[in-house]
């Protein structure tokens, strides 16, 4: 993996990352193809939206269809028909969200499959092995996010474990990022950044954000954490977020993002626009002949009115979720392109002129 910085604007960077499955420009947004499919969207739809890299989930794919099958089919990219780079998360977050079903020890995490109750064990070594079998371009180590608000004792234990696991995490072919944890505690973030950087990974993930902390606190701690990381490595803010969060983080020097919001909100009739979120189930759209956004080049905005989209949701037509997801992913794709252009032109300040951006 090779990261090149093309331009800077303040702390923000515009760059490109080369992987075995192609190059993507940064700042980059990765839609979530959790189970090897971005919900309702084809690879060509994602390309049309300017998307260049996807995120998939190790936990879900290890359960179904299993990493061995994916490896046999030539890797995740070929399996899902995505001709481009893929990042996989370690499955740690999913395992921790199964709280009553899992047990964490220094060795790793033992849990019951949410599908059939079978006992599964994830260790730092095992999650890297799974991701290598999946053929990921960028891999994530096993980590233990700290719940918000952080309890000092819990935070201490979790951070120590994350760092101990990190020492056991080594990848072969793929680029294994390190994950910096530490919740909203500056001292812990600093300690974590140093512990992770000791192994000089090819990139750094900022983990443990969007856990319920207020937006301003998140912005501040993301900026602080980014400032602790080596300039020459890409920075990836995991699971974030709303457009405003992404804009703030790009300004702080973050390069990569993933979030389920564009597709999850698309499935519930919520459309992103620079004028705010449109709740398309609202009766006021019943006769609205405008597209979601007249300036948007997506197939939904080129061909469909708000009135029609509202109708699709009213009568439970699956075309509604697809079309609004299509638009939302395009919205995120355009946002990243605008941010990148602003960095190349060193005019990133202008991007604050979106007062209603969601």
- Closest alpha carbon to 43 in 77, 90, 93: 77
Question: Which residues ranging from 286 to 315 are in contact with a second copy (CB under 8 A)?
Answer: 286-287, 289, 299, 303-305, 307-308, 311-312, 314-315
Give the number of other Cβ atoms within 10 Å of residue 345's Cβ: 12
Q: Which of 13, 16, 21, 60 binds a second copy (CB under 8 A)?
A: 60
Q: Residue 78 and residue 84: Cα distance in Å, rounded?
A: 9
Which listed residue (45, 258, 274, 293) is catalytic? 258
- Which entry of 89, 143, 219, 245 is annotated as an active-site residue? 89
Q: Which of residues 76-135 bind a second copy (CB under 8 A)?
A: 79-81
- Secondary structure letter of residue 285 according to DSSP: G
Q: How far is the CB of 69 from a second copy (least distance, A)?
A: 7
Q: Is 151 labeled as catalytic in the residue annotation?
A: no
Q: What's the rounded Cα separation, in Å, for the pair 292 and 296?
A: 8
We find the least distance from the C-beta atom of residue 112 to a second copy, in angstroms, to be 18
> Rule CB under 8 A: is residue 327 a binding residue for a second copy?
no
- Say if residues 258 and 29 touch (Cβ distance below 8 Å): yes
The enclosing H or E element of 14 equals: strand 12-19
Candidates 66-74, 169-177, 191-199, 344-352: pick the segment binding a second copy (CB under 8 A): 66-74
Nearer to a second copy, 39 or 251 (CB): 39
Minimal CA–CA distance to 313: which of 288, 290, 280? 280
**At closest approach, how far in Å is the CB of 291 from a second copy?**
10
What is the smallest separation between the CB atom of 44 and a second copy, expressed in angstroms? 7
Q: Are 173 and 132 in contact (CB under 8 A)?
A: yes
Q: Which helix (H) or strand (E) holds 28?
A: strand 28-31
Phi then psi for residue 7, to 5 deg, are -160, 165
89 is catalytic: yes
Q: Is 319 in the site for a second copy (CB under 8 A)?
A: yes
Residue 269 interacting with a second copy (CB under 8 A): no
Q: Buried b vs exposed e over 288-304: b needs ≥16 C-beta within 10 Å?
A: beebbbeebebbbbeeb
| ω into 60 cis (within 30 of 0) | no
Judged by beta carbon, residue 248 or residue 261, the one nearer a second copy is 261
**Which is nearer to a second copy, 17 or 312 (by Cβ)?**
312
Among 13, 16, 21, 39, binds a second copy (CB under 8 A): 39
Q: Contact positions toward a second copy, by CB under 8 A?
A: 35-44, 60, 64-65, 69, 72-74, 79-81, 286-287, 289, 299, 303-305, 307-308, 311-312, 314-315, 317-323
Residues labelled catalytic = 89, 258
């Amino acid at each position: 993996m090779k990261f090149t910085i093309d331009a800077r604007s303040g702390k923000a960077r515009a760059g490109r990352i080369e992987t075995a499955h192609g190059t993507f420009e940064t700042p980059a947004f990765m839609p979530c193809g959790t189970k090897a499919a971005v919900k309702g969207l084809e690879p060509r739809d994602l390309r049309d939206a300017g998307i260049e890299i996807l995120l998939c989930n190790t936990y879900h794919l290890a359960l179904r269809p299993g990493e061995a099958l994916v490896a046999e089919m030539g890797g995740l990219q070929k399996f899902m028909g995505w001709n481009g780079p893929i990042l996989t998360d370690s499955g740690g977050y999913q395992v921790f969200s199964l709280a009553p079903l899992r047990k964490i020890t220094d060795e790793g995490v033992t849990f019951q499959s949410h599908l059939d109750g079978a006992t599964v064990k994830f260790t730092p070594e095992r999650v890297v092995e799974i991701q290598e079998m999946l053929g990921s371009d960028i891999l994530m180590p096993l980590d233990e996010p700290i719940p918000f608000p952080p309890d000092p004792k819990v935070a201490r234990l979790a951070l120590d474990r994350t760092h101990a696991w990190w020492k056991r995490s080594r990848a072969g072919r793929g680029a294994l990022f390190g994950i910096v944890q530490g919740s909203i505690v500056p001292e812990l973030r600093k300690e974590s950044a140093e512990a992770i950087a000791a192994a000089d990974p090819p990139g750094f993930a900022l983990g443990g954000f969007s856990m319920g902390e207020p937006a301003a606190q998140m912005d501040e701690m993301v900026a602080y954490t980014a400032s602790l990381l080596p300039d020459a490595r890409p920075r990836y803010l995991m699971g974030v977020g709303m457009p405003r969060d992404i804009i703030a983080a790009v300004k702080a020097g973050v390069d990569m993002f993933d979030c389920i919001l564009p597709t999850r909100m698309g499935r519930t009739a919520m459309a992103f626009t620079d004028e705010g979120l449109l709740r398309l189930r609202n009766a006021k759209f019943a006769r609205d002949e405008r597209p979601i956004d007249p300036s948007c080049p997506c197939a939904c905005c080129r061909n469909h009115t708000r009135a029609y989209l509202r109708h699709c949701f009213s009568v439970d037509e699956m075309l509604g979720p697809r079309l609004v997801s299509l638009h939302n992913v395009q919205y995120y794709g355009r946002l990243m392109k605008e941010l990148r252009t602003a960095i190349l032109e060193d005019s990133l300040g202008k991007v604050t002129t979106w007062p209603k951006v969601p």
